[in-house]
Amino acid sequence: MTDKKITIPKHVGIIMDGNRRWAEERNLPSIEGHHKGYEKLKQAPSWFFSRGVSIISVYAFSSENWNRSRDEVNYLMKLVKIAFDRDLDDFNQRGCKVLISGRVDELPGDLPELCYEAMNKTKANQKGTLNICLNYGGRAEIVDAARKMIKNKVAPEQVHEGMIKKYLYQGELDDPDIIVRTSGEQRLSGFMLWQSAYSELMFIKKYWPDFEESDVDLILAEYANRKRRFGGDGQ
């Protein structure tokens, strides 16, 4: 059991970076890195949930990733289909609630239907929430929120931060307490731009395929040592 004195983040965001570089350093095709990264994604949520974290948001595929090679994009979409066709039952049996954030309806083939089916099938699960950011961009999310407010004829005087949050892809989720990026890169790359205003940031040098359960403990220990001020004294 975790020591009660340790502050556990409720929501952890993860930018799963480094799959391609992991493969390149091993003289493997990039799809091998993505495969290894996906296998890690299947494991990681349970590591966090078992330590008291309630929500994991992962950056799975950005709206800019469509610019990659056709073969790589096709393989990534194949992995998404595998996740919802073959592995959803495993997530469901573990009590994991699956949410999808992004422009779901623009995904190819039957992926939009599979995404909605995954969310519906797991909506009652309570062991932890896995929020998969798919065809996602932080600026696109804010644009889509504005469009929805306009479509719903929200009056200017009704627009405030709480209203905007309500119209985000998964507006009911708490903002991430800490956002972790693997691979050593130190930027958000458009990940949860609205929600990350006061998130703690942590950058890990190892690539995502090398992420281990022990890294979860390092993240939680680092978070426990941070003093969050939310713009208050010592900003």
125 belongs to the catalytic site = no
Q: Are 23 and 30 in contact (CB under 8 A)?
A: yes
Q: Are 199 and 177 in contact (CB under 8 A)?
A: yes
Choose the catalytic residue: 3, 19, 65, 125: 65
Distances in Å between the alpha carbon of 95 and those of 50, 121, 176? Answer: 12, 11, 21
17 belongs to the catalytic site = yes
Distance between CA atoms of 16 and 44, rounded to whole angstroms?
11
Distance between CA atoms of 195 and 62, rounded to whole angstroms?
16
Q: Are 82 and 210 in contact (CB under 8 A)?
A: no
Choose the catalytic residue: 3, 17, 19, 174: 17
Task: Classify 189 in phi/psi space as left (phi over 0), alpha (psi -120 to 50) or beta.
Answer: left
Q: Which helix (H) or strand (E) holds 177?
A: none
Of 228, 135, 140, 126, nearest to 179 by C-alpha is: 228
Distance between CA atoms of 119 and 11, rounded to whole angstroms?
18
Q: What 3-state DSSP class applies to 33? A: helix
Catalytic (active-site) positions? 17, 65
